[in-house]
Amino acid sequence: METAIEVQGLSKAFKGRTVVDRLDFTVARGEVFALLGPNGAGKTTIINILTTLTSADNGSAHVAGWDVRARSSEVQRRISLTGQSAAVDDALTATENVVMFARLAGLGRAAAKRRAADLIAQFDLTDAAGRVVRTFSGGMRRRLDLALSFVVTPQVLFLDEPTTGLDTRSRRDLWDIIREFARTGTTVFLTTQYLEEADQLADRIAVLHDGRIAALGTPAELKSRVGGDTVELHDGRGDLVREIPTDGSVADLRRALDLLDEEGADGVITLRRPTLDDVFLAVTSSAATPSMKELA
């Protein structure tokens, strides 16, 4: 397995408060790696360290094979970053913004214009291509900002809460673009507050809590640690009146239904599976379960 990101003992404090606390993790080439955590957990700080925008106090980090502190210029040549705030120029049109970024990335004039046209269309901005950005809505600005990250194909793409402010269709369109980048070998390092987004996109997920990784694994692994399937019985008003844990097998589901029959239960039955919401709540609570701690 070729490693795209390697972090060892990474720590960072601000004004005496530890934000990142001795982190260790690796990300494989072509992997989509999602970092989850509550506000203030250190997600953006980690991205800033890995993209050379700030320095760690202790530990080391390598991105695309280069030390982020000692060889920051080599790292910068191989990555792309979209942060939480738009980096577009309000005085330029959408097309002019993309062409400018493409030229700065080394594309010739004609190639830059072609790339701009492709990205403007891909991010559903064709009708606004000639408008100055100051007239854009927040969602349009965000889509343009994301388009700039895809001007050239980086070895590692960092996306810090990329779909904040996007509507459902735009969010899902971006998911398809991210998947395509990963299929072609680009490593994607993603922070998000949308748990469905991490579940849909990520090969592996790390959950931050108090500056440390509280859980790490595939979405399926994480969800399996917070429990199995549950047969739920709801009354006519939709209120939950009975829960029966199961292992998800046909035999055990039949056992749960037989038990409800024996009790004379009446209502609507649903099967509930663990979600990343359950994982997030379990590992960021003050008393995480032992099984979740084992994943860290």
Return mean pLDDT, the chain.
87
| Average pLDDT rounded to a whole number, residues 5-20 | 93
pLDDT-derived band at 292 (thresholds 50, 70, 90) equals very low
What pLDDT shows up at residue 247? Answer: 74
DSSP string, the chain: --EEEEEEEEEEEETTEEEEEEEEEEEETT-EEEEE--TTSSHHHHHHHHTTSS--SEEEEEETTEETTTTHHHHHHTEEEE-SS----TTSBHHHHHHHHHHHTT--HHHHHHHHHHHHHHTT-GGGTTSBGGG--HHHHHHHHHHHHTSS--SEEEEESTTTT--HHHHHHHHHHHHHHHHTT-EEEEE-S-HHHHHHH-SEEEEEETTEEEEEE-HHHHHHHT---EEEEE-TTS-EEEEEE--S-HHHHHHHHHHHHHTT--SEEEEE---HHHHHHHHHSSS--HHHHTT-
Lowest-confidence segment of 27-31, 133-137, 143-147, 244-248 by average pLDDT: 244-248
Q: Greater confidence, 1 or 204?
A: 204
pLDDT per residue as tens digits for the range 175-203: 888 888 888 889 999 998 888 899 999 99
Residue 220, pLDDT > 90, answer no
How large is the average pLDDT for residues 59-80? 94
Q: Is the pLDDT of residue 266 over 60?
A: yes
Query: Residue range 264-290: average pLDDT?
Result: 74
Provide the pLDDT for residue 102: 93
Residue 219 has pLDDT above 80, yes or no: yes
The CATH superfamily label for domain 3-223 reads P-loop containing nucleotide triphosphate hydrolases (3.40.50.300)
- Across the range 13-30, mean pLDDT stands at 93
Position with higher pLDDT, 271 vs 248: 271
Taking the domains of the chain in order of start, what are their residue ranges? 3-223, 228-273
Among 73-77, 145-149, 161-165, 283-287, name the one with the lowest average pLDDT.
283-287
Does the structure show a pLDDT above 80 at 204? yes
pLDDT, residue 12, reads 95
pLDDT of residue 293: 41
Per-residue model confidence (pLDDT) at position 111:
95
> Is it the case that residue 212 has pLDDT exceeding 80?
yes
Would you say residue 288 has pLDDT above 50?
Answer: no
